[in-house]
Amino acid sequence: MMSVKVEGISLFSIAFLILASVSMANPLQVGFYRHTCPSAESIVRQTVSDAVAKDPGLLPAIIRMHFHDCFVRGCDASILLDSTPDNRAEKESPVNNPSLRGYDLIDAAKTSIESACPHTVSCADIIAFAARDCVDMSSSGKITYSVPAGRRDGRDSVEAEVIQNLPPPTSNDEQLISNFASKGLTLDEMITLYGAHSTGVAHCSTFAADRLYNSTYPSNIDPAFAEQLKGQCPRGDNAGDPTVVLDIQTPEKLDNEYYLNLVKKRGVLGSDQTLWTSRSTAGFVARNAKDAEGWGAKFATAMVRMGGIEVMTGEQGEVRVRCRVIN
């Protein structure tokens, strides 16, 4: 049975509900490779551990990759496909390039798994396993969950579909709710998943013009915080496109500090801060800000739910031998 553990509380009943909901939504299974490739998940974890020891920034990057993959064509590893002479792939979108990274980590895990179990483990499952491990590591082991697997890899990746499916950083509450609902996720799950912004960075080009210099949300930001961000993102200075941390309190730790920042009007992105100023979402933000363990439990549940979006299984799609190209 799937287990979900958040430090300090028992979540047996939540784990049961997660398993039930996943079983109804799709045929993915925990332990899918226990007979065909029993070392798959340990290989991914070791690969992640080795990579983040050299580059800790890969922890939020891989979690973000999982989100970007699942929201476009479902969780099918379409985000990993390279462009061809006849097609520009998802990774070419300005939403993903150059900010999205971690492709080499997934390639390394795939190469090791192919040596152990050829033509068996999908790239889509490797992303899901790696994201789970990054959640575990970036939360210092406080948020762990089992990953139902059995996803198949897609054969298509289209740049234009990215902006059609991923919410921009200027989204208001109605746009965000509509976007996540279209993927089968609830309002609570949406706000819970946005807590991933408690770690990682944002490029100034993605928010500064609207948020700091021509703000759509002029009353939604603490003035002192805005001045701090302006110092990091000077007006009109795009040289190198600098980055700022999304959580000024614990930027390298996955925790509920993100919500505490929103209450203080210190959300970097407009789409983050709108969760606090909107009547439909503020209550969820307040509860997550007060209950770190409860948010962690919900985050584990929501990651499992997100990992089941529009998956292909059985004979659908394929299991790519190399994640960047179709077979």
Within-domain flag for 305: no
> How many Å apart are CA 309 and CA 301, to the nearest integer?
13
> For residue 77, what is the domain's CATH number?
1.10.520.10
pLDDT band of 213, cuts 50, 70, 90:
confident
Say yes or no: 154 and 274 in one domain.
Answer: no
Q: What is the mean pLDDT of residues 255-262?
A: 97
Q: Which amino acid does the sequence have at 203?
A: H
Q: Quick: pLDDT tens for 103-148.
A: 999 999 999 999 999 999 999 999 999 999 999 999 999 999 999 9
The answer, as to whether pTM is greater than 0.85, is yes
Q: Cis link prior to 98 (omega < 30° from 0)?
A: yes
Within-domain flag for 322: no
Return the exposure string of 166-179: e unless at least 16 CB atoms fall within 10 Å of the residue's CB, then b. bbbbbbebeebbeb
Say yes or no: 194 and 132 in one domain.
Answer: no
Domain that holds residue 294: 173-299
Does 13 score more than 50 pLDDT? no
Q: Write down the pLDDT at residue 67.
A: 97
Within-domain flag for 212: yes
Q: What is the mean pLDDT of residues 57-77?
A: 97
Q: Write down the pLDDT at residue 98.
A: 82
Q: What is the mean pLDDT of residues 79-90?
A: 96
Say yes or no: 152 and 239 in one domain.
Answer: no
Say yes or no: 151 and 177 in one domain.
Answer: no
pLDDT band of 238, cuts 50, 70, 90:
low
Within-domain flag for 310: no
Within-domain flag for 12: yes
Active centre residues (catalytic): 68
Say yes or no: 289 and 182 in one domain.
Answer: yes
Say yes or no: 127 and 197 in one domain.
Answer: no
Which of these three, 114, 145, 166, is where a domain ends? Answer: 166
Within-domain flag for 326: no
pLDDT band of 27, cuts 50, 70, 90:
confident
Say yes or no: 162 and 196 in one domain.
Answer: no
Q: Write down the pLDDT at residue 235.
A: 83
Does 14 score more than 80 pLDDT? no
> How many Å apart are CA 145 and CA 201, to the nearest integer?
24
Within-domain flag for 260: yes
Say yes or no: 162 and 177 in one domain.
Answer: no
Say yes or no: 153 and 184 in one domain.
Answer: no
Q: Write down the pLDDT at residue 51.
A: 97
In sequence order, what DSSP letters do the residues of 129-174 get, joined into one string? HHHHHHHHHHTTTSEEE--EE---B-S---THHHHHHSPPTT--HH
> For residue 184, what is the domain's CATH number?
1.10.420.10
Q: Write down the pLDDT at residue 10.
A: 40
Within-domain flag for 304: no
Say yes or no: 150 and 210 in one domain.
Answer: no
**Closest listed residue to residue 68, CA positions, set 59, 78, 81, 57:** 78
Does 22 score more than 50 pLDDT? no
The residue count for the chain: 327
Q: Quick: pLDDT tens for 283-313.
A: 999 999 999 999 999 999 999 999 999 999 9
Split into its structural domains, the chain has a count of: 2
Percentage above 90 pLDDT, the chain: 80
Say yes or no: 139 and 157 in one domain.
Answer: yes
Say yes or no: 247 and 191 in one domain.
Answer: yes
> How many Å apart are CA 123 and CA 98, to the nearest integer?
21
